[in-house]
């Protein structure tokens, strides 16, 4: 099992509803369990020419999940959710109803034609770092360092949207799940990962913990971050 961080973004349509529906769809994927989620942030659209006040503003959020899916399987499942929300792909990095990007998967380093992990620009995007920090105050971007430090150095140009967390209303027991052991797990995972219960090893599906469900700690940083990948983080990227 892996712990994955997924960034969500939208600047067309009912952005908040879309992000919430997408987060719930992610939580309901077979082989995926919700761990923690952010509130939404809003920011000015970033285009190839820089910040563009004339474009619809973005809403962004982050969810943290445990998953049995392989990285490529997770990406394909996320593309399916994007498609279900009317995502079109004519203009790369253009306006979009929904963008779902894999930010990190444990401390995995992956650079294939279709998937680069950690996401190569995650550390440069406040609209990824701020909600990630909101979901997980102890988050670490593999190869780059604590998300709190990265965000402090970068400056946070996002605005917090005072709405519930994206996983609010999601419970492990209330969604379809093919593995019976999971239905007996405790607390729904809808909030911030609490520090005191974190450990460095993800639990198995049948392992219970007292208190909130998150048990995995920050991923260690081991080496340089990939910066050569072709894909921007959620949201438009120059
Ligand atoms: P954008 O770059 O604006 O997010 P898309 O969402 O259409 O555009 O993604 C383009 C491609 O980026 C995807 O088809 C996917 O194969 C690739 N990609 C590479 N790494 C990642 C990642 N970490 N998360 C999401 N997509 C990725
Ligand atoms: Mg994308």
Model confidence at 34: pLDDT above 80 = yes
Q: Could you tell me the distance, in angstroms and rounded to a whole number, from the CA of residue 86 to the centre of ligand 2? A: 14
pLDDT category at 228 given cuts 50, 70, 90 is very low
What confidence score (pLDDT) does residue 3 get? 98
| Cβ contact 97:18 at 8 Å | yes
Q: From residue 189, how far is each of 9, 36, 58, 154, 166 by CA, in Å?
A: 21, 6, 25, 29, 11
Model confidence at 33: pLDDT above 90 = yes
pLDDT (tens digit, 9 = 90+) per residue, 197-226?
443 333 333 333 333 333 343 333 333 333
9 pocket-lining for ligand 1 (C-beta < 6 Å) = no
115 pocket-lining for ligand 1 (C-beta < 6 Å) = yes
pLDDT category at 229 given cuts 50, 70, 90 is very low
Mean pLDDT over 45-68 rounds to: 93
Model confidence at 227: pLDDT above 60 = no
pLDDT category at 6 given cuts 50, 70, 90 is very high
What distance in Å separates the CA atoms of residue 189 and residue 174, rounded to the nearest whole number? 12
Domains, the chain, in order of start with CATH, read 2-160 (3.30.70.560)
What distance in Å separates the CA atoms of residue 171 and residue 187, rounded to the nearest whole number? 8
116 pocket-lining for ligand 1 (C-beta < 6 Å) = yes
Starting from the CA of residue 226, give the closest ligand. 1
| pTM of structure | 0.78
């Amino acid at each position: 099992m892996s712990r994955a961080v997924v960034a969500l973004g939208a600047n067309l349509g009912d952005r908040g509803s879309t992000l919430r529906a997408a987060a719930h769809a992610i939580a309901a994927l077979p082989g995926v369990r919700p761990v923690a989620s952010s509130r939404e942030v809003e920011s000015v659209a970033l285009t190839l020419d820089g910040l563009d006040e004339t474009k619809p503003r973005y809403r962004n959020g982050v969810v943290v999940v445990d998953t049995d899916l392989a990285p490529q399987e997770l990406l394909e499942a996320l593309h399916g959710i994007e498609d279900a929300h009317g995502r079109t792909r004519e203009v790369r990095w253009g306006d979009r109803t929904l963008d779902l990007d894999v930010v990190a998967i444990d401390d995995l380093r992956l650079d294939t034609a279709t998937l680069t992990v950690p996401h190569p620009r995650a550390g440069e995007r406040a609209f990824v770092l701020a909600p990630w920090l909101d979901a997980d105050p102890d988050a670490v971007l593999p190869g780059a360092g604590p998300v709190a430090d990265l965000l402090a150095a970068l400056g946070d140009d996002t605005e917090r949207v005072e709405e519930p967390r994206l996983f609010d209303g999601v419970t492990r027991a209330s969604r379809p799940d093919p593995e019976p052991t999971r239905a007996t797990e405790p607390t729904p995972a809808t909030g911030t990962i609490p520090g005191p219960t974190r450990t460095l090893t993800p639990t198995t599906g049948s392992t219970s913990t007292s208190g909130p469900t998150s048990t995995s700690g920050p991923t260690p940083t081991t080496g340089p971050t990939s910066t050569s990948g072709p894909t921007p983080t959620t949201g438009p990227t120059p």
